[in-house]
Amino acid sequence: MLARTKKARMTITAAPIDIPAEEEQRIRRLVREEQFSLIFRTNRNSNVVAISMALVLWMYMYFRLGNSWALVWGGAMHFTQLVRSFWVGRYFRDPSVVHDPGWVRGYLLRLGINGAIWGAAPLVMFDANDMAGLALVTVSVLAIHSGGQTWVAPVRGAILAFCLPIIVQLCIALALHDSATLRVAAVLAFLYLYLSMRFALQHNQMLADSLHAHFLNAALNARLSEQLAVVELASTEKSRFFAAASHDLRQPMHAIALFSAALEHDLRGTPQHESASRSLDAVRALSESLDAMLDVSKLDAGVVQVLEAGVPLQHVFQRLNALFAPQANEKGLHLRFRSTTAVVLTDERHLERMLANLVSNAIKYTARGGVLVAARPRGAGLAIEVWDTGMGVPAGQHERIFEEFFQLGNPGRDRSQGLGIGLAVVRRLSALLGLPVRLQSTPGRGSVFRIEVPAGKALAASTVPAAARLPAAAPVTPLALPSCVLVLDDEDDILAAVRSVLSGHRIEVLTASDCQQALALLQDPRWAGRIDAFLCDWRLGSGTSGLEFASSLGPEHGIHVATVMVTGETGPEALRQVRESGLPTVFKPVSAPRLLEALSSACRPQPA
């Protein structure tokens, strides 16, 4: 048992942790406070028991056996118990006295005197001719020693002060008698003293180590909590900064996109049209980058909805093949989608986005060879795999490639390589759909990304033949655009840009720079029946919310008009408000086609 105790002690102290000296000092103070607390607060009944045992012992020895020394012993015992109780009372008034060396020495002195008086009982009460009395004294002394050893175990000094005098004097009392039996008992009592003291001191050290480990863990947890709070604050501040920066960047980009679209529209058929078209392409590329970051924000905000249904993978494969075949051919790569009849229970749009990002990534990082997409049975489920013969991913980078903006082999941040957001979106969609993504890769030979479909989401084979073609797309019908649109925005450039785009499509445009102007136009009898749509910016000047204004038109003013919100806000809270509002919303920068589509959709009669 001792060996196990020693081993346990070594386990606690085997891994020292480097902590500041002042922190170590604080922990030692806490340990000391807890040690004395264990003595005084959790062992109050011990004093009652000790007083009762002393009272019974001296009264029996005095009144029954006529031992006058028993009366003297009893008086000394109760006097020292009373003095010690008064001294301990100071602790209950102010527990911090445990850090006062003078008080501690006084307490140990009084405790030692009390132990010495207990140990004196055999010396003054032993009678070799009265075995019953001798047995009573011996048992009482050993009982007090055993109980006291547990009682004072938390404090090393208390063990030595209280327990040592008791057994030492018992050994002396036994050895002073001529009886061989009592002398043998003295030797045994000495062995008992050695073993009990060794056990008590080891127990004390274990308790001290445990308390130290407890408070150290508490300190480390507190420090960890502080560091986590700092990290969370930094993350929040970073998100707030990016949200503000994104909004401020989207504002001028929104105007540039609309002005570029209007310019490209007006210059058609002129020599300057090619330059205008190239300018518009550059704006579109930047808009796509901002939209990619918006996708990550939406997923992080938890506002992306999942609509599960049976998805025939062959249909998804055919659309992806049509989308990526031109890119693969341009690079001289073989792109193959293996025909399949598999059906997956998931959100078709999100699954297609995951596969599109993986295929795009495979084509981007494959210089020669090809890309294969296939669905294979895997246990009771299904695995959708994207194989490539590209550069591969080093083992140490398998997790990092799913981080935002991380790219392999692109230290110069070549724009043609994208932003490094595609796989970050894949990871988030994987968690959203419950479809784990695994990666196996050999640098220099290629990679395989595997979307694992659990058994519950892998449905029976589709009745659609694997080689079936999707039906031809329905002919595109012209957009049913509104004839008059009210635009509310606090920036003149945005108002001018929107007017330029909409006027080019023969839409009458009214503009307002604040809510009062917009409300006045909506209530003006000249325009009340002519305004077909209301294009409202989300964040207006002086902290005014365009969303609150648009939402109040019906309930507060009885005005019902098709409304489209426009915003550059991409923070999680703003995205949640977008979803909860129920109003059609487009995110800046908005391309001219997307703006026209949103207005047309808002004005389209809803099915009953």
Q: Is 405 contained in some domain? A: yes
CATH assignment at residue 359? 3.30.565.10
What average pLDDT does the segment 206-232 reach? 86
355 vs 385: CA distance, rounded Å:
9
With respect to residue 268, please indicate whether it lies within any of the assigned structural domains.
no
* Contact indicator for 342, 385 with CB cutoff of 8 Å: no
Positive or negative: CA dihedral 278, 279, 280, 282? positive
φ, ψ dihedrals at 464, nearest 5°: -80, 125
Question: How high is the pLDDT of residue 81?
Answer: 85
pLDDT grade, residue 478 (50/70/90)?
Answer: low
Q: Cα-flanking dihedrals φ and ψ of residue 356, to 5°?
A: -60, -40
555 and 423 in a common domain = no
Q: Do 543 and 420 share a structural domain?
A: no
Tally of CB atoms within 10 A around 250: 22
- Asked whether residue 354 carries a pLDDT value surpassing 70, the answer given is yes
Same domain, 18 and 131: yes
Whether 239 has a pLDDT exceeding 90, the answer reads no
In this predicted structure, what is the pLDDT of residue 4?
40
581 shares a domain with 439: no
Alpha-carbon dihedral 152, 157, 159, 161, rounded to 10 degrees:
-110
440 and 501 fall within a common domain: no
Query: Are residues 451 and 555 located together in one domain of the fold?
Result: no
Considering 196, 226, 256, which residue would you say is the last residue of a domain?
A: 226
Q: Are residues 213 and 99 in the same domain?
A: yes
351 against 277, higher pLDDT: 351
Assign residue 557 the CATH number of its domain. Answer: 3.40.50.2300
pTM as predicted? 0.46
**Better-predicted residue by pLDDT, 103 or 237:** 103
Q: Are residues 451 and 595 in the same domain?
A: no
Mean pLDDT of the chain: 79
Q: How far apart are CA 98 and CA 96, in angstroms?
A: 5
Contacts of 402 (CB under 8 A, 6+ apart): 423, 424, 426, 427
Domain termination residue (choose one: 459, 492, 510): 459
Q: Which of 226, 254, 278 is the last residue of a domain?
A: 226
Residue 470 lies in a domain: no
Residue 87 lies in a domain: yes
Asked if pLDDT for residue 45 goes beyond 80, the answer is no
Nearest-angstrom CA–CA distance, 251 and 494: 8
Count of domains observed in the chain: 3
Mean pLDDT is lowest, of 70-74, 287-291, 392-396, 556-560, for 287-291
Reduced to 3 states, what is the DSSP secondary structure of residue 487?
Answer: strand
The verdict on 74 and 184 lying in the same domain is yes
Write out the residue range of the structural domain in which residue 151 sits: 2-226
Of 368-372, 435-439, 475-479, the poorest mean pLDDT is in: 475-479
Residue 72 sits in the same domain as residue 206: yes
Q: Is residue 235 part of a domain?
A: no
208-222, 294-308, 374-388, 532-546: lowest mean pLDDT where?
294-308
Residue 75 resides in a domain: yes
Q: What is the mean predicted confidence (pLDDT) over 145-150?
A: 83
Q: Which amino acid is at 267?
A: L
489 found inside a domain: yes
How confident is the model at residue 105, as a pLDDT? 92
pLDDT at 274: 76
**Domain check: are 439 and 559 in the same one?**
no
- Model confidence at 351, in pLDDT bands (50, 70, 90)? confident
Quick: pLDDT tens for 409-424.
Answer: 554 444 455 556 778 8
Q: What is the pLDDT of residue 338?
A: 92
Res 505 pLDDT > 50: yes
Residue 320, domain member (yes or no): yes
Verify cis geometry, omega within 30 degrees of 0, for the bond prior to 436.
no
Q: Are residues 514 and 442 in the same domain?
A: no
- For every residue of 319-349, DSSP letters joined together read HHHHHHHHHHHHTT-EEEE-----EEEE-HH
Q: Residue 530 is encoded by which pair of tokens?
A: 């002519």
The alpha carbon of 96 is separated from its chain's Cα centroid by a whole number of angstroms, namely 38
Residue-wise pLDDT for 158-202, tens only, equals: 889 988 998 898 889 888 888 888 889 889 988 988 898 899 889
Pairwise CA distance, residues 536 & 519, whole Å: 12
Beta pairing, strands 446-453 & 381-388: antiparallel
